[in-house]
A and B are shown apart, each in its own frame.
Chain A
Amino acid sequence: MRKYILSTLFIVSLLLSWSTHLSAQVNADTTQKSEKKAESFNAGNLIIDHIVDNHEWHIAEIGHTEVIIPLPIILVDQGKLVTFCSSKFEHGKSVYKGYKLETERNSDKGKIVKVVPGTMETDKSVKKPLDFSITKTVAGVFVSIIVMILVFGSVARSYRRNEGHAPKGLQSLLEPVILFIRDDIAKPSIGKHYNTYMPFLLTTFFFIFFSNLIGLIPIFPGGANVTGNIAVTLVLALFTFFIILIKSNRHYWIDIFNTPGVPWWLKFPLPLLPVIELAGLFIKPFVLMVRLFANITAGHIIVLGFISLIFIFGQMSVSLAYGVSVVSVFFSLFIDLLELLVAFIQAYVFTMLSALYFGMATESHEPATHNN
């Protein structure tokens, strides 16, 4: 009997939702009248609002009060520094010091714009002020930094205390991962001088891994979509790009502009292959950026979509929503488990490809020696 328990639970939940939906059809008129008072649920807006950056950290809505953390706004307007708390904007309803949050659904939505003095309209003739505010994503980056400093500070201290002894505690949890990065990512890709790149590879791997994991926690301080923000992944990819540029040797540039072993008519008079190779130099970090961003954002959108499904069905009838919530929560749980795997895999792929590019940039052209 025990092996059928999962399938019976599934079938019972489906039957419950369908039977209550049939009975709710009878009461459809009375429920619809009361629902016209509340706003209709817009799943697209909910998902987009959870994915994009925001000037305040929205935690919950208890009853009619919203629990939010207003984050500081730091603007540089034509050389002048302006700082204030984002609660002065009152969710975009009021103007403060000549600025307001753009609420119309155009490309400036959610950003801070200047207003025509005395009115609430956007002043379209001046440029927007430079926005250096601590937004939700920036606060999420700070949370990741604090977690990393706490974890690795404690691990480093235990290494100093436990010198000569076996590792214990958090040390023994992280040592296999650090050695995995050294032995399976850095050493095979970079070769002899892997130690110079180890700090960057370790920091990148753990920052991406911890940020991905913290982004899966639905409540404060987790839930800020850090690695799902293309600006964050752009910066990570730019680090890789600049390290490649700085550490590349002559042979790397000769392989780009004068690839050996390739027919001459691909390089002169029309430099077809050099252009392709130069594009590759830019495209490889660009792909790193888009891969991480798309994977993490897609995972968040899927989980948010399953949860929104409950509320979409709730618009039709509340009991149907209860039935669907069982199925929806199971699917969200499955996707969340998959996202745990994706969090690790994306950190691993980013770090491995960075190490590969560093190895390619610093390859020395000694004659190949066979070590077996």
Chain B
Amino acid sequence: MTLLSLLLQVATDMAPIAKLGAALGAGIAAIGAGMGIGNIGRGALESIARQPESAGDIRSNMIVSAALIEGVAFFAIVICLLVVVL
């Protein structure tokens, strides 16, 4: 009987599950950002290894691309924050 009442409580009050979804979403956004920026770093390091004179150019382009990809990850974070706060 207590199991049924517990299930009823879970089914009607979805607010904590919404927060759980938001937290999981933020974690998945972090995974996406990590994978994307890791790829940029790998490409940058391999290019610098091939041609060390262009290290300065490659470094600036790497930082710019990392900022753009972080922007996308922050979108997901902002939406998760909206779910928690609103």
Contact = CB atoms under 8 A, between A and B. Distances in A.
Nearest to A107: B86
Chain A interface, >50% SS class = helix
A348 B64 contact: yes
B78 A294 contact: yes
Interface residues of B, number: 10
Contacts of A130: none
B12 to A, nearest CB: 22
Interface in A304-357: 345-346, 348-349, 352
Interface stretch (B2-10, B17-25, B38-46, B66-74): B66-74
Contacts of B68: 291, 349
A349 B68 CA distance: 8
Interface string A286-313: 0100110111001000000000000000
Interface in B22-64: 63-64
B67 A290 contact: no
Contacts of A298: 74, 77
Contact of A287 (B63, B64, B71, B77): B71
B64 A295 contact: no
A294 B64 contact: no
Contacts of B67: 291, 345-346, 348-349
A126 B29 CA distance: 41
Contact of B75 (A294, A345, A346): A294
Given A287-B71, A349-B68, A294 B63 contact: no
Contacts of A346: 67
B71 A295 contact: yes
B30 to A, nearest CB: 12
B24 to A, nearest CB: 18
22 contacts: A287-B71, A287-B75, A290-B71, A290-B74, A291-B67, A291-B68, A291-B70, A291-B74, A293-B78, A294-B74, A294-B77, A295-B70, A295-B71, A298-B74, A345-B64, A345-B67, A346-B67, A349-B64, A349-B67, A349-B68, A349-B71, A352-B64
Given A291-B68, A345-B63, A345-B67, 13 more contacts: A287-B71, A287-B75, A290-B75, A290-B78, A291-B67, A291-B70, A291-B71, A294-B75, A295-B70, A295-B71, A298-B74, A298-B77, A348-B67
Interface of B: 63-64, 67-68, 70-71, 74-75, 77-78
